[in-house]
Amino acid sequence: MRPTSSRRAPLLLTALALAALTGCSTGQAGAAAIVGGERIGNDEIRSEIAEYEAALAGQGQEVADEQRPMLAGRVLSNRIAMTLFDRIAKDNGIDTGAQRTQEKLTELGGRDTLLAQGLAAPQIDDQVRLAVIGEELVERADPAEISVLAERARATMREDMAAQGAVAGLSGEELEREIQAALTRNEPVVRQQVVNDYLALSLAPYLRDVDIEVSPRYGEIDPATLTIVPGVGELSAPAVEPLPALPGGVGG
């Protein structure tokens, strides 16, 4: 048995570090959230929910009525995060236009490839845009800072591989050879983890400085889990049953 990384970096981050958000009235009719003055409408969230339900139906799953508030919270959390990342792109002069994102989509193998990797169709545009933003930010960053993030990712991966190798009965030079080979194979995973980590670092000041209001109809942000906890309202009610796994792992 060869040690392999048990930590798979997701394609990109979604709904990152939303602990700073608080559930409160948006002050605008029909708004699910207001992010730095930018409105996220209820209709937009409902439309995305319908897309996810269709994606789940394609996998033979369905969302029960009591699970809809949880899905609504996840979709809204994701939309808030993307609104902030779009602001980061604008502030840094990063091109996320149609031509650039189409180029990145092609680099990633196209829509069919991303669907096969577990992403739901509604996620793809966001994920491709995040890829453009994250990679551009990393390219502009201090190389020393990126090196620290990469070494941290490799160290974590090494720990996992060493544990797996020990379970498989490997030790000494044999274990080290297998670890080195696995680290080389997983260098693209390290690179993706660096992008994810740098996106999180870039998001932090926006969470601190941007005024974000979330409609109580969706519940309240739980800073411990970074999810929106359903409350009671038109779109929110106590969620009784676990939500089916969303394609691509939307939200927190």
- Residue 138 buriedness (CB in 10 A; 0-12 / 13-18 / 19+): buried
pLDDT band for 227, please (50, 70, 90 cuts): low
CA distance 251 to 12: 12
CA atoms within 13 A on the CB side of 190: 20
- More confident position, 49 or 237: 49
DSSP string, 125-159: HHHHHHHHHHHHHHHHS-HHHHHHHHHHHHHHHHH
Q: What is the pLDDT of residue 1?
A: 52
The domain 22-229 having CATH identifier 1.10.4030: the answer here is yes
pLDDT bin (cut points 50, 70, 90) of residue 214 is confident
Pairing of strands 38-41, 31-35: antiparallel
Indicate the pTM of the whole model. Answer: 0.77
pLDDT digits over 178-197, tens only? 999 999 999 999 999 999 99
pLDDT band at 221 (very low <50, low <70, confident <90, very high): low
Please report the sign of the dihedral spanned by the C-alpha atoms of residue 230, residue 123, residue 94, residue 188.
positive
**Rounded mean pLDDT of the chain?**
81
CB 81 within 8 A of CB 15: yes
What integer pLDDT is reported at residue 65 of this predicted model?
84
CA separation, residue 79 to residues 16, 27, 165, 170, 212 (Å): 11, 18, 40, 46, 12
| Residue 120 confidence (pLDDT) above 60 | yes
Judged by phi (left if over 0) then psi (alpha if -120 to 50, else beta), residue 119 lies in beta
